[in-house]
């Protein structure tokens, strides 16, 4: 088993290195499962797992009956699962960093109060963070958090951990709602995402719940030229549940 895991990691590293040095540019076809299995002396299952995981991470895309290809080089997040953005960036072999712009307590606006089960003008916690990939702004996160469920939120250091990491530990996720829309960014968003001129952006509105109720409402905004949303769904597995 240890040998198989080592080979699996080796295949992934090999594919990533070939992409990074330009041997396989965008939309290039990568070696098949059979070729990789023979090259690394492993089973087809091991090679398939390497290709599938790189596909789920947005590094590759697969065309049924044709093969696997190098995806366009923009970041990808999944709609099928809630992932920590730092983990997403690290999985691509890139460096993650964050810029905390604001962490405070505010009077709760009516729309936020309704979403989080609070009263209007009751205290709500608010954080504003820019997430960076290789020092380039990737996502602007504006998040409202219920003080009732997460009383120490404003005392955290979100330069060292993401809100997602902290909330997953303090108030484990049981449910989530997503809304994805295309928006035209305002001057504030353009400035913090370092957009020289406005361009279409993706905004993901995400409300998360724990067993005790609604925990947070987050607005996650990213330039369409740098970010995409996607996922991999195994229909056969769902049918067998």
Q: Any idea what the Cα angle at residue 139 is, between residues 158 and 144, rounded to 5°?
A: 55
- Say if 239 falls within a structural domain: no
Dig out the tokens for 43 from the structure.
Answer: 């089973």
Residues 49 and 163 occupy one common structural domain: no
Residues 192 and 142 occupy one common structural domain: yes
Residues 130 and 194 occupy one common structural domain: yes
Mean pLDDT, range 9-16, rounded to an integer:
88
For residue 10, pLDDT beyond 70: yes
Long-range residue pairs from 185-193, CB within 8 A, at least 24 positions apart, any chain: 185/221, 185/223, 189/140, 189/221, 192/101, 192/130, 192/137, 192/140, 193/130, 193/137, 193/140, 193/221, 193/222, 193/223
Residues 130 and 23 occupy one common structural domain: no
Q: Which residues pair with 63 in a beta bridge?
A: 67
Residues 80 and 46 occupy one common structural domain: no
- Say if 236 falls within a structural domain: no
For residue 128, pLDDT beyond 60: yes
Q: Choose one of 22, 48, 73: the last residue of a domain.
A: 73
**What pTM did the predictor assign?**
0.65
Instruction: Provide the pLDDT for residue 82.
Output: 67
Q: What is the pLDDT of residues 161-202, one digit of tens each?
A: 999 999 988 988 878 888 889 999 999 999 999 998 999 999
Residues 69 and 80 occupy one common structural domain: no
- Whole-number Å distance between alpha carbons of 65 and 102: 49
- Say if 50 falls within a structural domain: yes
For residue 150, pLDDT beyond 70: yes
For residue 139, pLDDT beyond 70: yes
- Say if 30 falls within a structural domain: yes
Q: Choose one of 49, 73, 97: the last residue of a domain.
A: 73
Mean pLDDT, range 203-209, rounded to an integer:
91
Q: Which of 152, 153, 205 is nearest to 180 (CA)?
A: 205
Residues 34 and 94 occupy one common structural domain: no
Here the CATH number for the domain that contains residue 13 is 1.10.10.10
Q: What is the pLDDT of residues 80-105, one digit of tens each?
A: 456 789 988 888 888 999 999 999 99
Structure confidence at residue 226 as a pLDDT band (50, 70, 90): confident
- Say if 127 falls within a structural domain: yes
Residues 36 and 135 occupy one common structural domain: no
Here the CATH number for the domain that contains residue 206 is 3.40.1410.10
Between these two residues, 36 and 53, which has the higher pLDDT value? 36
Residues 66 and 105 occupy one common structural domain: no
The chain-wide mean pLDDT, for the chain, equals 85
Range of the domain at 158: 75-229
Instruction: Provide the pLDDT for residue 239.
Output: 40
Question: In total, how many domains does the chain have?
Answer: 2
- Say if 237 falls within a structural domain: no
Instruction: Provide the pLDDT for residue 214.
Output: 93
Structure confidence at residue 129 as a pLDDT band (50, 70, 90): very high
């Amino acid at each position: 088993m240890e040998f198989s895991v080592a080979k699996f990691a080796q295949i992934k590293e090999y594919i990533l290195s070939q992409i990074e040095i330009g041997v396989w540019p965008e939309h290039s076809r990568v070696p098949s499962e059979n070729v990789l299995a023979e090259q690394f002396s492993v089973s087809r299952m091991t090679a398939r797992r390497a290709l599938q995981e790189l596909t789920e991470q947005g590094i590759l895309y697969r065309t049924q009956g044709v093969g696997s290809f190098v995806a366009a080089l923009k970041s990808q997040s999944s709609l099928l699962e809630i992932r920590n953005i730092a983990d997403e960036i690290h999985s691509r072999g890139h460096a993650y960093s964050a810029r905390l712009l604001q962490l405070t307590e505010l009077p709760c606006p009516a729309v936020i109060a309704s979403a989080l089960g609070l009263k209007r003008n009751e205290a709500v916690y608010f954080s504003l963070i820019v997430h960076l990939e290789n020092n380039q702004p990737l996502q602007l996160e504006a998040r409202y958090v219920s003080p009732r469920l997460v009383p120490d939120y404003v005392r955290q250091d979100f330069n060292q951990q993401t809100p997602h990491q902290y909330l997953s530990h303090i108030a484990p996720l049981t449910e989530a709602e997503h809304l994805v829309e295309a928006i035209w960014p305002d001057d504030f968003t353009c400035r913090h995402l370092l957009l020289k001129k406005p361009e279409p952006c993706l905004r993901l509105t995400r409300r998360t719940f724990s067993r005790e109720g609604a925990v947070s409402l987050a607005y996650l905004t990213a330039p369409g030229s740098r970010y995409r949303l996607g996922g991999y769904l195994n229909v056969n597995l769902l049918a067998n549940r």
